[in-house]
Amino acid sequence: MNFLDLVKARYSVRSYEQRAIEADKLQYVMECTRLAPSAVNLQPWKFYIVSNPDDCAKMRQCYHRDWFGEAPMYIIACSNHDESWKRRRSEPKDHADIDISIAVEHLCLAAAEVGLGTCWVCNFDVELCRELFGIAAPYEPAVLIPIGYPATSEVPEKTRKPIDEVFVSL
């Protein structure tokens, strides 16, 4: 699969089989995530794997959608704000969000390559997630990622802005 095919194969999967994920596939996805770039190579992140039934039930309290409850496994992608690079001058900025986003997309693309579905979920109850899983500052639960085999083989068409609207020659 070339990169464009992989990019098209990754989509927001909102219907999952209950089938467990093979250990070697999970390992591959974790390795691709680990190798993501980050500002000053600080790698300000931690990924919690949620797979036992009790923890999966807790996860489902953080985001109430029927489809979300179908996934056999979840990953909580957390930023570490003590380790992230902060630009101190020229519009100061914490780069934790940028770093975690790159790593999460590595994760989602790697999963797609091995036939697994994922979905970025940011519209969740962060405070409850912290409480249920004991995730305290400096860590911030940034993205929940359900992961599992898609229940359907249909891949939706991408609806995106055209290139000439997105890329502008200066």
Question: To the nearest whole angstrom, how small is the minimum distance from the Cβ of residue 120 to ligand FMN?
Answer: 4
CB of 136 to ligand FMN, least distance (A): 23
Among 27, 122, 127, 138, binds ligand FMN (CB under 6 A): 122
Q: Does 18 bind ligand FMN (CB under 6 A)?
A: no
111 binds ligand FMN (CB under 6 A): no
Of 85 and 120, nearer to ligand FMN (C-beta) is: 120
Based on the shown chain and the rule CB under 6 A, indicate whether residue 153 belongs to the binding site for ligand FMN. Answer: no
Any contact of residue 120 with ligand FMN (CB under 6 A)? yes
Residue 6 makes contact with ligand FMN by CB under 6 A: no
Q: Please, what is the minimum distance in Å from the beta carbon of residue 111 to ligand FMN?
A: 12
3-state secondary structure the chain: CCHHHHHHHCCECCCECCCCCCHHHHHHHHHHHHCCCCHHHCCCEEEEEECCHHHHHHHHHCCCCCCHHHCCEEEEEEEECCCCCEECCCCCEECHHHHHHHHHHHHHHHHHHCCCEECCECCCCHHHHHHHHCCCCCEEEEEEEEEECECCCCCCCCCCCCHHHHCCCC
Does residue 74 belong to the site contacting ligand FMN (CB under 6 A)?
no
Both tokens assigned to 19? 């089938």
Residues at the site binding ligand FMN, with contacts judged by CB under 6 A: 11-12, 119-123, 158
